[in-house]
């Protein structure tokens, strides 16, 4: 389904399905855990983390705890902060979540923040993996992988009633 300016790559139902599938994968890799920290990169990554939390709470006995990760995407070397205290995710299983893995810059700096803390397990999840990495970071759980040109932009809408991922 194409419009004059954007190409829909995931419609609402497909995104809901991908979120459910990622939640099951997270559950399977954490089946022995009683609690897991879903660390969503502000803003769309955090929205995705909230949606994953809702599904995990329905399909498992794991207590999913939300954590907002604030990364300055224009200056990722600036200090990264989280909505949880370090003690709240120390020795826990953590999944760092973002909507799109583009160059890997945001994700790698998010990973770097959590490397300063002893963790039980650390994984990454994205809805769209673009395969344009300039850093050696990968998504352990991903909704879809795309081969795109560097000039194209993936836009993900997760707030509101209708979800959509498009290529512009």
- Residue 97 covered by a domain: yes
- Taking 60 as the threshold, does the pLDDT of residue 4 lie above it? no
- Taking 80 as the threshold, does the pLDDT of residue 48 lie above it? yes
CA distance 104 to 142: 14
Q: State the residue range of the domain holding 57.
A: 7-167
Interacting residues of 10 by C-beta distance below 8 A, sequence separation 6+: 18, 127, 128, 143, 144, 163, 164, 165
pLDDT (tens digit per residue) in 124-163: 999 999 877 788 888 999 999 988 777 788 889 998 889 9
What's the CATH number where 60 sits? 3.40.50.2020
- Residue 60 covered by a domain: yes
CA distance 3 to 127: 22
- Residue 96 covered by a domain: yes
pLDDT of residue 1: 43
Give me the number of domains the chain comprises.
Answer: 1
Query: How long is the chain?
Result: 168
pLDDT of residue 5: 67
pLDDT of residue 6: 76
Interacting residues of 152 by C-beta distance below 8 A, sequence separation 6+: 167, 168
- Residue 2 covered by a domain: no
Nearest to 9 by CA among 150, 127, 139, 134: 127
Mean pLDDT of the chain: 91
- Residue 20 covered by a domain: yes
Over residues 16-24, mean pLDDT: 98
- Residue 112 covered by a domain: yes
- Residue 27 covered by a domain: yes
pLDDT (tens digit per residue) in 56-85: 999 999 999 999 999 988 888 889 999 999
Handedness of CA 68, 158, 55, 114 (dihedral sign): negative
- Residue 1 covered by a domain: no
């Amino acid at each position: 389904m194409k419009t004059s300016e954007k190409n829909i790559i995931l419609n609402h139902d497909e995104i809901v399905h991908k979120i459910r599938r990622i939640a099951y994968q997270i559950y399977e890799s954490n089946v022995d855990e009683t609690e897991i920290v879903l660390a969503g990169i502000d803003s769309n990554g955090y929205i995705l983390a909230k949606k994953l939390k809702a599904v995990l709470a329905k399909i498992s006995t794991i207590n999913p705890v939300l954590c907002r990760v604030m990364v300055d995407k224009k200056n990722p070397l600036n200090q990264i902060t989280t909505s949880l205290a370090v003690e709240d995710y120390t020795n826990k299983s953590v999944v760092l979540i973002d909507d799109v893995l583009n160059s890997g810059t945001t994700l790698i700096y998010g990973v770097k923040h959590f490397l300063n803390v002893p963790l039980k397990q650390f994984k990454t999840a994205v809805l769209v993996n673009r395969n344009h990495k300039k850093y050696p970071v990968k998504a352990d759980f991903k909704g879809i992988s795309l081969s795109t040109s560097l000039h194209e932009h993936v836009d993900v809408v997760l707030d509101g009633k209708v979800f959509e991922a498009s290529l512009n």
